[in-house]
Structure 1
Amino acid sequence: MNEKNELLDYWVKLAPKIKEGIPFDVMIGVTDTEKFLLYLPASNLNLGAIDGMAVPEGDAIYLAMKSNKAQMVSVPKEAFGIAFKAKSVPITDEHGKVIGGFGIGISLENQQKLSSVAQHFASTSEEIAASTQELSSSALELANFMELLGTAQKEMSEQVDKTAKILTFINSVAGKSKILGLNAGIEAARAGEHGRGFAVVAKEIRSLAEDSARSVDEIRGILRLLNQKVEFIANSVKKATEISHKQSAATGEISSAIHGLVTSAEDIEELSRLL
């Protein structure tokens, strides 16, 4: 056996040990300058019975032998029926002459799976962005309703202040009426049956009573307005509650999307151990 054959035979015998020493599943090929001398398939990457087959142009080993330096290529599915990535080095004799090639290949299935995971990441991110936007919009609606609620409460407070002033007026009328009644009684006692002042006082008392009645009517009107404001507040609170429910649903969608991200992260972590 000549030196060339001895060196190639050495690579053929060494190849299975190299395959065992690599921590992930690969295929290995050894060639002379024309054909495959050895082919060791991977469990997920088997090109078939290619021992003795001519080294095709464009193959990583072919390019390594032609350039006399290491080459890495992605081999399309059209070449062997399976897409894979391969790195090859030329085998040279003691004079540096290329006498063959050695190549290692790994399936692109994991890369394709990683690409799919990346696409899932992108899709999930879009879902999160959409859900977040919806949540933001609902939060804005809620803020607007709360502002209306605050305005209504302010108006109601002003109405209550007016009511307090009217009540103060009524109390004042009551006080005056009491004094006038007392004076009327004194005058009546003095004049007896002929007292004319009593009539004047009585008239004043009636006038004040009428003022009091009008004040009571005004109070009733204000109370009606208060009832309307309270009803508006109740409706606003109801709408705010509905919006909060929408926010809760949107939060649930975000939680689900985040769960999808976690699952994808686990897949990527698993792939990282294989690549």
Structure 2
Amino acid sequence: MQTHEILQNAAQTIAITSKDLSVTADDLSTLANQLSSDLAQVCQNGEKVLEDIKKTTDILRFVSDIAANSNLLGLNAAIEAARAGEHGRGFAVVAEEIRKMAVNSGKSVENIATILKTIQHETSKVVSVLVKTTELGNTQASSTGRISASIHQLAEIAANIQKVADSV
């Protein structure tokens, strides 16, 4: 009788613990899958940012060309203003301001390009870490799924032991 009671208590404890573990493992598996999915999405977003940065390089090249051409136009305008003598003095001031704006625009383009290269480099590092983390998340999700399946199997065994204990 005492053996029967010990067997029945052990079977109930195993059954309850297995059910708790099963629920927890299922929750972990769900969370691991969600984490893996979210990391993959963040990785895709990072890659999109890198693509957009590459597109801005073309735009910066265009603005740089405009700045260089504006500088030449300002220089030519200054030459023509000098030829005009006293009548071209006002135009010479405008030409000089155009040249200053062109030089400042060119420097700004260079600064922006430097900043974008830094952003691109740092974003590449982030994406690289995200790729590795996504792989880890996938591995974790897979492992958690296997643990969950094992715990479900353990719960079935515990239920069978409970049936045997009840019948004894």
Q: Same fold (TM over 0.5)?
A: yes
Q: Distance in 2 between matches of 1:222 and 1:196?
A: 43
- Which stretch of structure 1 is more off in the superposition, 118-127 or 140-149? 140-149
1:243 to 130, 137, 152: 137
Alpha carbons of 1:210 and 1:112: their partners in 2 closer, same or farther (altered >3 Å)? closer
The partner residue of 1:226 within 90, 108, 120 is 120
Residue 223 (structure 1) shift = 1.1
1:167 corresponds, among 61, 72, 80, to 61
Render the CA deviation track for 1:240-268: whole Å, top value 9, x for unaligned: 33333333332232122133234446657
Q: CA deviation at 1:206?
A: 7.1
Q: How far is the alpha carbon of 1:122 from its aligned partner?
A: 2.5
Offset of residue 159 of structure 1: 3.7
Q: Which has the higher contact order (CA 8 A, sep 6+)?
A: 2
Q: Which runs of 5+ in 1 are unaligned?
A: 1-76, 78-82, 84-107, 185-194
Pairwise CA RMSD of aligned residues?
Answer: 4.8
Larger radius of gyration: 1
The CA distance in 2 between the partners of 1:265 and 1:142, in whole Å, is 33
1:212-237 deviations in Å (ceiling 9; x for gaps): 35423321221111111222222233
Q: Distance in 1 between matches of 2:23 and 2:158?
A: 17
Question: How many residues are matched?
Answer: 156
* Alignment-derived partner of residue 258 in structure 1: 152
Distance (Å, rounded) in 1 between the aligned partners of 2:24 and 2:106: 62
Cross-structure match for 1:134: 28
CA distance in 2, matches of 1:258, 1:139: 18
**TM-score normalised by length of structure 2:** 0.57
Partner Cα separation in structure 2 for residue 229 and residue 216 of structure 1:
20
Structure 2, unpaired ranges of 5+:
77-81, 85-91
User: Which segment drifts farther, 235-244 or 224-233?
Assistant: 235-244
Name the one with the larger strand percent. 1
Per-residue CA shift, 1:47-68, capped at 9, x if unaligned? Answer: xxxxxxxxxxxxxxxxxxxxxx
- Alpha-carbon shift at residue 128 of structure 1 (Å): 1.0
* 1:216 matches 2:110: yes
Query: 2:125 is matched by which residue type in structure 1?
Result: E
In the TM superposition, what is the alpha-carbon distance from 1:171 to its structure 2 partner? Answer: 3.9
**Structure 1 residues 217, 267: closer, same or farther in 2, change over 3 A?**
same
C-alpha deviations, 1:115-158, integer Å up to 9, x for none?
64454333211111121222333344445545544554555455
State the alpha-carbon separation in 1 of the partners of residues 28 and 155 from structure 2.
20
Structure 2 distance, partners of 1:217, 1:238, is 32
1:21-76 CA distance string (max 9 Å, x none) = xxxxxxxxxxxxxxxxxxxxxxxxxxxxxxxxxxxxxxxxxxxxxxxxxxxxxxxx
